[in-house]
Structure 1
Amino acid sequence: MGRLTTKIGYENLRNARILENQARLASLGLPKTISDLRSIVSSAKPEKTQKRRPSKVVNGGSPLRRSNRLKGITIDSTTEHLSLRRSGRLRGKSVEPTSTPPGKEDVEDNQEGSFRGDGEKRPANAPLVKIKASNLQLSPDVSARRCNSKGRGSVYDSIFGICCHFCRQKKLCGEEDCKRCSNLDVDQPCLGKTDCSVCHSSNGVLCRGCLKVRYGEEMEEVRDNKEWMCPHCIEDKGINPFWICNSSLCLKKRKMAPTGIAIFRAREMGYKSVAHLLMDDLQQAEKRRR
């Protein structure tokens, strides 16, 4: 009962002080001043805040690039300034090789046939090239660069170059006395590419560099040996067990990983070539399976 009486007394005293303060503020005129200030602030405040949109900036003042379809222009293939960029093959023009003189487009695609006119099969290092003109010759610059690299050749030619089965480079060979690569005589074999005496196929075409590094053979010895056989034919005939072609294409067909640049490891281990290293690995694997 005492606590309730004390609380009521405190509230009465508090209410009396509030009324006294309000009377004092009213005598000073402050309530009217506060209401006036609130009305001024509310009138100056905008009803809704709008986001400011950034203005578009055009750099350089140049017109925007638009497609002909959006500009309503019909594309005419005969119009020069609206013609599409297309390759020479799609435009019906033949590709000019490094061996063709400027302005001449008289060389057709090569290696389309593998037989001579009398029905005899052509060597793989002398594929057929259809030529309409007989006065083709290498430019002085190409002739000077052709013999810079005797291993694989230094001049790429998509028409007269013969693709190596391993490195797959269609280059003119660097042999000085090769009439095919120097004089573009397509009836002569390339002295810088091998030819299998059995299959006469592209599997037996190897350049000097790949022949030496991958199989440990010299081009001069292969050239003098009229019965030389490629690794594919040697394997088919069972002449030398585990002697296989170690090109990436052939190894992938065997579900084997390509050897990559394995010549350094082969020479460190005392092997003559990558083929000799691979042959020994296959022999060891065969012994372990037994």
Structure 2
Amino acid sequence: MGRIRGSKAYSNYENLRQTRILENQARLASLGIQKTISELRESAASAKTTKPKRSYQKRVHGVTPLRRSKRIKGIDLYAHPKSLPPRRSQRLRSCSSDPSSLKQEKVSSSEWEEESLSCGEVKRPANAPLIILKGKELQLSAEASSRRCHSKGRGSVYDPVFGLCCHFCRQKKLCGEEDCKRCGNFDVDEPCLGKTDCSVCHSSTGLFCRACLKVRYGEEMEDVRENKEWMCPHCIEEKGKRPYWICNSSLCLKKRKMPPTGIAIHRARKLGYKSVAHLLMEELKRANKYKI
């Protein structure tokens, strides 16, 4: 009985719906709306077919010569060294008379310049580059001189001219050593006591400040000064004196496609290692052992 009643109710609803549809269609036909809709559709279709297609024209805004490097043009850079403009770093363009002040006085390149060494001259150490002052002597202010030795590890006074850039932390500061004549009196003939110098390469890759030397490699600055045959990690690796002893700066690790260690000294000391370099050396040994 339930199914019959349900089917009857369903059929009644369909009949009612159908009658309403027919009534609505009759009403639309009496008003002429259906004819209008059909006419609009036909006119829209005819407009699409009769509308002419626009021809694409490439717009030219302007013709400028392409910039090509001299290597692509076929110019031999080594055959014409005099024709190329000299490249000067920012350190050679400006210097400060008072490193402690924020507004540093700029000195023109005619007043000072860094002398390039010829082939016959002896190569100067990395912690004592030669800078020639022309007609102007620079001196630290009393305030900057008092603040210079506050931080003995890396120094606390930034100087773009006389400050030597550490290979690891890349801080171009005057060292905090009290007896350093170069950073204290700007004596260019004296080496910086707060920066190392490799006895083999004498390059900037062997230039480390006191803090980075101890934390990253476990060495003291006083021992490095006494050791006249001290070598940087790059030269030690090249000569093969200490296996797996490498430079752990971010630049050198990226060249090896290794992730930078970051602040790893706390983890190294927690595991009982003297420095980050000792920790990295043991990790490289274990990795090579597992590979074999």
TM value normalised by structure 1: 0.64
Q: Is the alpha carbon distance of 1:108 and 1:251 closer, same or farther for their aligned partners in structure 2, counting shifts above 3 Å?
A: farther
Please name the residue that 1:105 is paired with: 107
Shift in Å at residue 97 of structure 1?
4.8
Q: Is the alpha carbon distance of 1:278 and 1:104 closer, same or farther for their aligned partners in structure 2, counting shifts above 3 Å?
A: closer
User: Which secondary structure state, in structure 1, belongs to the residue aligned with residue 216 of structure 2?
Assistant: helix
Deviations 1:165-216 (A, max 9, x none): 0000100000000000000001100000000000000000000000000000
* Pairs aligned (count): 200
Equivalent residue runs for 1:72-91 within 5 Å: none
Taking the aligned partners of 2:222 and 2:98, their CA distance within structure 1 comes to 28
Q: Is the alpha carbon distance of 1:114 and 1:153 closer, same or farther for their aligned partners in structure 2, counting shifts above 3 Å?
A: farther
Q: Is the alpha carbon distance of 1:286 and 1:95 closer, same or farther for their aligned partners in structure 2, counting shifts above 3 Å?
A: same
Q: 1:206 aligns with which of 205, 208, 233?
A: 208
Tell me which amino acid in the other structure corresponds to 1:182: G
Taking the aligned partners of 2:117 and 2:216, their CA distance within structure 1 comes to 29
Taking the aligned partners of 2:110 and 2:264, their CA distance within structure 1 comes to 38
Please name the residue that 1:96 is paired with: 96
Taking the aligned partners of 1:149 and 1:100, their CA distance within structure 2 comes to 14
Q: 1:115 aligns with which of 97, 114, 117?
A: 117
Where structure 1 has 5 or more consecutive residues not aligned to the other structure, the ranges are 1-88
Q: 1:249 aligns with which of 243, 248, 251?
A: 251
Shift in Å at residue 114 of structure 1?
5.6
Tell me which amino acid in the other structure corresponds to 1:283: K
Taking the aligned partners of 1:226 and 1:189, their CA distance within structure 2 comes to 14
Does the CA contact (< 8 Å) of 1:137 and 1:184 recur in 2?
A: yes
Please name the residue that 1:158 is paired with: 160
Q: Is the alpha carbon distance of 1:242 and 1:117 closer, same or farther for their aligned partners in structure 2, counting shifts above 3 Å?
A: closer
Does the CA contact (< 8 Å) of 1:107 and 1:132 recur in 2?
A: no
State whether structure 2 residue 207 is matched by structure 1 residue 216: no
Please name the residue that 1:285 is paired with: 287
Q: Is the alpha carbon distance of 1:148 and 1:111 closer, same or farther for their aligned partners in structure 2, counting shifts above 3 Å?
A: farther
Does the CA contact (< 8 Å) of 2:201 and 2:235 recur in 1?
A: yes
Does the CA contact (< 8 Å) of 2:164 and 2:172 recur in 1?
A: yes
Which of these two proteins has the greater Rg computed from alpha carbons?
Answer: 1
State whether structure 2 residue 170 is matched by structure 1 residue 168: yes
Where structure 2 has 5 or more consecutive residues not aligned to the other structure, the ranges are 1-88
Equivalent residue runs for 1:120-269 within 5 Å: 120-133=122-135, 135-269=137-271
Taking the aligned partners of 2:291 and 2:155, their CA distance within structure 1 comes to 43
Q: Is the alpha carbon distance of 1:248 and 1:241 closer, same or farther for their aligned partners in structure 2, counting shifts above 3 Å?
A: same
Please name the residue that 1:62 is paired with: none
Taking the aligned partners of 2:216 and 2:116, their CA distance within structure 1 comes to 27
Q: Percent identity?
A: 68
Superposed CA RMSD in Å reads 2.7
Tell me which amino acid in the other structure corresponds to 1:98: D
Does the CA contact (< 8 Å) of 2:94 and 2:161 recur in 1?
A: no
User: Which secondary structure state, in structure 2, belongs to the residue aligned with residue 130 of structure 1?
Assistant: strand
Tell me which amino acid in the other structure corresponds to 2:289: K
Equivalent residue runs for 1:10-29 within 5 Å: none
TM value normalised by structure 2: 0.63
Taking the aligned partners of 1:242 and 1:144, their CA distance within structure 2 comes to 42
